[in-house]
A and B are shown apart, each in its own frame.
Chain A
Amino acid sequence: MAEMKYIGKKTPRVDGYSLVTGQPVFADDVHLNDLLHIKILRSPYAHAKIVHIDVSEVLKMKGVVDVITHKDITPRYFTTAGQGYPEPSAYDTLILDSKVRYVGDRVAIVAAESVEIAEVALEKIVVKYEKLPSIFDIREAVDNPSILHKGEDKAGIADFNRNIAGHFDAEVGDVKKGFAESKQIFEKEYSLPYVQHCHIEPHVALTWIDENNRLVIRTATQVPFHVRRIISRILDFPMSRIRVIKPRVGGAFGGKQEILTEDVCAAVTLRTHRPSRLELTRAEEFHASRTRHPQIVKFKIGVNEDFTFNAIEMNILENSGAYGPHALTVMSVTASKSLGLYRSPNIRVNATAVYTNLPVAGAYRGYGAPQGFFPLESLVDEIANELGLDPVELRHINYVREGDDVPIAQILGEGREGFPVVIRSCGLHQCLEEGEKLIRWNDLRKGKKSGIFRRGVGVAIAAQGSGIAGIDMGSVFIKMNEDASFNLNLGATDIGTGSDTAMAQIAAEVLDVPVEKIIVYSSDTDLTPFDAGAYASSTTFISGGAVKKAAEEAKRQILERGKKLLKVDKAEIEDQYVVAADGKRISYQEVCTKTLYTEEQMQIMATASHTSFDSPPPYNATFADVTVDTETGFVTVNKIVSVTDIGQVINPQMAEGQVEGSIPQSLGYALSEFLVFDNKGSPLNLNFNDYHIYTAIDMPEIVTKFVHTHEPKGPFGAKAVAEIPINGPAPALANAIFNACGVRIRELPITPEKILNALPKD
């Protein structure tokens, strides 16, 4: 392949200047005249019927413009999950309901002239609740006499009478026989807590009626096209009169793949004909937006004489919380990603998602995969230690290889059966080799393990996907300007990932122009073509594929027009010129200018769409170096090494950034983050003082490396990077803690108390 000019090269971000100078580019960075401020009254009870609600006093308050309760809104069930259509999530949610199902559920909406007035108004709403029995224990949900969703009108709930939001089981081979034949069987159960995305920009939306009597929704979202579709249906408002604008987004991680503000804002604007704004508070973000799905995962692995795996069985019990967005698909990813990592002729999985009266879980970076890899990679470590093997060696023996089929991943798909899965690129071998060196694996693993401070190392490997096979679609429009710049309008939703820059690099590489010549405009339902949205690590792989196709078509047109203008049959493109064999040449500028103004006038432009029936897994090996203080149980993370195979790296600096940002999220998952509830289901830690995310002074040394592979299905050989690096740190840490002090904790987060309680008492 020819040397590439822009792919794989350090490229400054196309939006860098505006971000570093604090330009008003985020959803809330706008002043609207006559703006209404919205606040939501939320339930103090975990499960209750609203038997009476009186807003008459509130409506009399000066400055209160509108109050909405469940009586004011036509009930249309929907899912807040912004997924492909028809959504695999249950339609179990209303904008406002007469029943509340968790502490924080919506009760009423107030729109007022100021935030302060709206806040005071909330307190004056009179609500009488009839409390209902609550379910807080995930193990008690199925067949509990208290039923969350009596689902007469609801669709897509697996079994509402039994509180089951979603369920699947699947088998490849014969697992019973597989275990019977295995030399040794290992089985353990692991538990994963409630954690929250903590994107620093909260959910925020602004809506108004524009000069053409259309509804404009300016919102911090990952899924502008899904927002338009869902809002149109639930508010019964024509899609042709809705425009969704996605400005820059201040972090999302899956949290903004949900409709949490737009429905309320749009309802207020349509009722009052006034601009409205709703921004969630940090407390609301913690307990009334979305979280990662808590799960209890049981793994059983049968091992042969030669240490290969003969049978793997996985049981997932997932807590979806009070509603079911992503309930089925998250646990199908939990299963398919972890079960796709190792070869085994016999594999079985059984998964059940249940409703409880706790906060609602949703999409969160990794989308279920971290919940699968913590158990799997902990158990593989346990097996290696039991068998007296180097944990790296046991992995080398068992992970998938290039050319392997992964039939279980095909059966599981995502919400429905998927497509054949064949591994065409896999850099796990290099990832492990490189990581071992960088962490000093042998020295530290076998070092002294005594005294108060004990040092240890651990490893975990993982896989993810690149978009959702057969479901995700991205599309692009590109046009050429007289100065040889190009407008690239695309649905792909840059949520802070830098995808606008990566897309510009792909277009620049194809068209052979500098990246500055590509003017990117992304995600506006009026101005850009459709894209399924920024989730499932899809943008580089799926939307990037569309950019490549559209740019190639534009380039073909440039060449054709150039040949006509030069009056030759054959020519080539070289450095922004169309060059004939005899050396005659014409510049891009001249081709475009003549084509626009004088010669057989037309616009050089192209559109393209891209889908894929493959979702090539990126791979990662993460190594952790820790010191455990055996007197306090406190864990100091000294170093994390993350080595990743993402195929061809498009933008090294931004790819590193994805890894470096994933690691502290997973460190928090492993060591410090969890929502705490009292015995009535009320969350107790709703601010950054009580819920600890990693700060600049908590960070260990981070080493990020990429190994080189080429994915034949990806644009320029690329795979995805956004989610893969979040899977490894938590299990690598648990394994390092075991290596350091012999304590195995199977429930996250691994707090000092848990370690202290598990250490042998002198």
Chain B
Amino acid sequence: MTVSFTLNGKSTTVDVPLGRSLFDFLRGSGIFSVKFGSDKGEAGCDTVLINGRAFNASLVLMHSVAGKEVETLESLVEDGKLHPLQQSFLDAGAMQSGYTAPGMIMSIIALLRENPYPTEEDIRDALAGNLDRETGYVKPVQAVMDYLASRCIELVEMKNTNKNSC
């Protein structure tokens, strides 16, 4: 079966057996940020974005991504520079083993596209499908809050700069 879709910004056409999951395809293609955690996707460490929304790659079959845009954690780093949310995860110590970090980060990216000003409750809701046995979710949630705070400061500074220039 031939499937054409966009993978991390690149148009991609692949030939895959019928019934191949997106998870198996991605890992088979060397996209290793997508992790196995459970047989039915309940762990959430296989979270990717499809047309901007978070999905469990294990539960998505390849034929269903035809014509769609698939994004994984690999798309976040630009010119060797971390996405500010990744930097927040690093600074807040939001990882222990780091096995679940890619899935959590992708869930948050999906949240932020839908709701750029989430509350802590929104953040927790967005992470509810990302099981983690190491952090108690304390520092991951903190990392997102820190990221939002730094972005607010940036916005305020931008506004101030604009005022000054007026």
**Residue picked from B38, B42, B128, most chain A C-beta under 10 Å:** B38
CB distance from B34 to the nearest CB of A (A): 8
Q: Find out whether the CB atom of B96 lies under 8 angstroms from the CB atom of A497.
A: yes
Residues of chain B contacted by A693 (CB below 8 angstroms): 131, 133
In the complex, per-residue mask of B122-166: 1 if CB is within 8 Å of any chain A CB, else 0: 011101111111111111110000000000000000000000000
A345 near B: Cβ within 8 Å? no
CB distance from B61 to the nearest CB of A (A): 14
A530 near B: Cβ within 8 Å? no
Q: Find out whether the CB atom of A16 lies under 8 angstroms from the CB atom of B36.
A: no
A145 near B: Cβ within 8 Å? no
Q: Find out whether the CB atom of A21 lies under 8 angstroms from the CB atom of B37.
A: no
A282 near B: Cβ within 8 Å? yes
A12 near B: Cβ within 8 Å? yes
Q: How far is the CA of A660 from the CA of B133 in the complex (A)?
A: 10
CB closest chain-A residue, reference B134: A661
Q: How far is the CA of A702 from the CA of B141 in the complex (A)?
A: 12
Interface segment among A44-52, A175-183, A243-251, A537-545: the answer is A243-251
* Selected contact of B136 from candidates A201, A282, A495, A663, CB within 8 Å: A663
Q: Find out whether the CB atom of A661 lies under 8 angstroms from the CB atom of B135.
A: yes
> Nearest 10 A-B pairs (CB), nearest first?
A496-B97, A22-B33, A19-B98, A250-B99, A660-B136, A688-B42, A696-B127, A653-B93, A29-B32, A24-B32
Give residues of chain A (669-718) contacting chain B, Cβ–Cβ below 8 Å.
Answer: 687-689, 693-697, 699, 702, 704
CB closest chain-B residue, reference A701: B138
CB closest chain-A residue, reference B73: A22
Residues of chain A contacted by B32 (CB below 8 angstroms): 22-24, 26, 29
Q: Find out whether the CB atom of B125 lies under 8 angstroms from the CB atom of A15.
A: no
Residues of chain B contacted by A26 (CB below 8 angstroms): 32, 35, 99
* Selected contact of B135 from candidates A28, A283, A657, A687, CB within 8 Å: A657
A438 near B: Cβ within 8 Å? no
Q: Find out whether the CB atom of B133 lies under 8 angstroms from the CB atom of A21.
A: no
Q: How far is the CA of A660 from the CA of B28 in the complex (A)?
A: 34
Residues of chain A contacted by B43 (CB below 8 angstroms): 200, 282, 688
Q: How far is the CA of A22 from the CA of B83 in the complex (A)?
A: 13
In the complex, per-residue mask of A1-42: 1 if CB is within 8 Å of any chain B CB, else 0: 000000000001101111111111010110100000000000
Give the dominant DSSP class at A's interface.
loop
* Selected contact of B131 from candidates A665, A688, A704, CB within 8 Å: A688
* Selected contact of A200 from candidates B82, B123, B133, B141, CB within 8 Å: B133
Q: Find out whether the CB atom of B97 lies under 8 angstroms from the CB atom of A201.
A: yes
A198 near B: Cβ within 8 Å? yes
CB closest chain-A residue, reference B42: A688
Residues of chain B contacted by A19 (CB below 8 angstroms): 95, 97-98, 101
Residues of chain A contacted by B82 (CB below 8 angstroms): 17, 20-21
* Selected contact of B128 from candidates A248, A654, A697, CB within 8 Å: A697
CB closest chain-A residue, reference B143: A20
CB closest chain-B residue, reference A249: B97
**Residue picked from B76, B77, B82, B90, most chain A C-beta under 10 Å:** B90
Q: Find out whether the CB atom of A20 lies under 8 angstroms from the CB atom of B96.
A: no
Q: Find out whether the CB atom of B133 lies under 8 angstroms from the CB atom of A22.
A: no
Q: Find out whether the CB atom of A657 lies under 8 angstroms from the CB atom of B93.
A: yes
In the complex, the number of residue pairs spanning A and B with C-beta atoms less than 8 Å apart equals: 170
**B contact set with A: CB distance below 8 Å:** 28, 30, 32-33, 35-40, 42-43, 45, 72-74, 76-77, 82, 86, 89-93, 95-102, 105, 123-125, 127-141
Q: How far is the CA of A200 from the CA of B103 in the complex (A)?
A: 12
Q: How far is the CA of A118 from the CA of B3 in the complex (A)?
A: 27
CB distance from B124 to the nearest CB of A (A): 4
A441 near B: Cβ within 8 Å? no
Residues of chain A contacted by B98 (CB below 8 angstroms): 15-16, 18-20, 248, 250, 496
Q: Find out whether the CB atom of A661 lies under 8 angstroms from the CB atom of B90.
A: no
Q: Find out whether the CB atom of B134 lies under 8 angstroms from the CB atom of A248.
A: no
Q: Find out whether the CB atom of B101 lies under 8 angstroms from the CB atom of A251.
A: no
Residues of chain A contacted by B102 (CB below 8 angstroms): 22
* Selected contact of A16 from candidates B28, B95, B135, CB within 8 Å: B95
**Residue picked from A15, A200, A497, most chain B C-beta under 10 Å:** A200
Given A13-B93, A657-B93, A695-B131, 19 other A-B residues pairs in contact with their CB atoms under 8 A: A20-B101, A20-B105, A21-B73, A26-B35, A31-B30, A198-B131, A200-B132, A201-B36, A201-B99, A250-B98, A496-B98, A653-B139, A657-B134, A664-B133, A689-B40, A689-B42, A693-B133, A695-B128, A696-B140
CB closest chain-A residue, reference B91: A12
Residues of chain B contacted by A66 (CB below 8 angstroms): none
CB closest chain-B residue, reference A201: B99
Q: A20-B86, A253-B133 are in contact. Are A697 and B125 (CB under 8 A)?
A: yes
CB distance from A236 to the nearest CB of B (A): 32
Q: A251-B96, A498-B96, A657-B134 are in contact. Are A202 and B125 (CB under 8 A)?
A: no
Residues of chain A contacted by B30 (CB below 8 angstroms): 24, 31
CB closest chain-B residue, reference A198: B133
* Selected contact of A281 from candidates B39, B99, B124, CB within 8 Å: B39
* Selected contact of B133 from candidates A15, A31, A282, A665, CB within 8 Å: A665
A509 near B: Cβ within 8 Å? no
Q: Find out whether the CB atom of B77 lies under 8 angstroms from the CB atom of A21.
A: yes
Residue tally, chain A, CB below 8 Å to B: 57
Q: How far is the CA of A12 from the CA of B128 in the complex (A)?
A: 26
CB distance from B77 to the nearest CB of A (A): 6
Q: Find out whether the CB atom of A200 lies under 8 angstroms from the CB atom of B136.
A: no
A429 near B: Cβ within 8 Å? no
Q: A13-B93, A282-B39, A696-B124 are in contact. Are A702 and B131 (CB under 8 A)?
A: no
Q: What are 6 sample pairs from A and B whose C-beta atoms fall under 8 A apart?
A: A16-B90, A19-B101, A496-B99, A687-B38, A695-B131, A699-B136
Q: How far is the CA of A253 from the CA of B99 in the complex (A)?
A: 14
* Selected contact of A251 from candidates B89, B97, B129, CB within 8 Å: B97
Q: Find out whether the CB atom of B39 lies under 8 angstroms from the CB atom of A496.
A: no
Q: How far is the CA of A520 from the CA of B36 in the complex (A)?
A: 27
CB distance from A133 to the nearest CB of B (A): 32
A524 near B: Cβ within 8 Å? no
A162 near B: Cβ within 8 Å? no
Residues of chain B contacted by A496 (CB below 8 angstroms): 96-99, 134
Q: A495-B97, A498-B96 are in contact. Are A657 and B89 (CB under 8 A)?
A: no
A629 near B: Cβ within 8 Å? no
Residues of chain B contacted by A21 (CB below 8 angstroms): 33, 73-74, 76-77, 82, 86
CB distance from A9 to the nearest CB of B (A): 13
Q: How far is the CA of A656 from the CA of B139 in the complex (A)?
A: 9
* Selected contact of A282 from candidates B38, B77, B135, CB within 8 Å: B38
Q: How far is the CA of A699 from the CA of B130 in the complex (A)?
A: 13
Q: How far is the CA of A496 from the CA of B86 in the complex (A)?
A: 18
Q: How far is the CA of A249 from the CA of B89 in the complex (A)?
A: 19
A279 near B: Cβ within 8 Å? yes
**Residue picked from B72, B127, B133, most chain A C-beta under 10 Å:** B133
Q: How far is the CA of A111 from the CA of B86 in the complex (A)?
A: 39
* Selected contact of B96 from candidates A12, A657, A694, CB within 8 Å: A657
Q: Find out whether the CB atom of A657 lies under 8 angstroms from the CB atom of B139.
A: yes
Q: Find out whether the CB atom of A22 lies under 8 angstroms from the CB atom of B74.
A: yes
A199 near B: Cβ within 8 Å? yes
Q: How far is the CA of A235 from the CA of B128 in the complex (A)?
A: 44
Q: How far is the CA of A199 from the CA of B95 in the complex (A)?
A: 14
Q: How far is the CA of A31 from the CA of B31 in the complex (A)?
A: 11
Q: How far is the CA of A453 from the CA of B158 in the complex (A)?
A: 48
Residues of chain B contacted by A283 (CB below 8 angstroms): 39
CB distance from A694 to the nearest CB of B (A): 8
Q: How far is the CA of A413 from the CA of B64 in the complex (A)?
A: 59
Q: A12-B91, A282-B43 are in contact. Are A28 and B36 (CB under 8 A)?
A: yes
Q: Find out whether the CB atom of A200 lies under 8 angstroms from the CB atom of B100.
A: yes
CB closest chain-A residue, reference B74: A22
Q: How far is the CA of A665 from the CA of B101 in the complex (A)?
A: 18
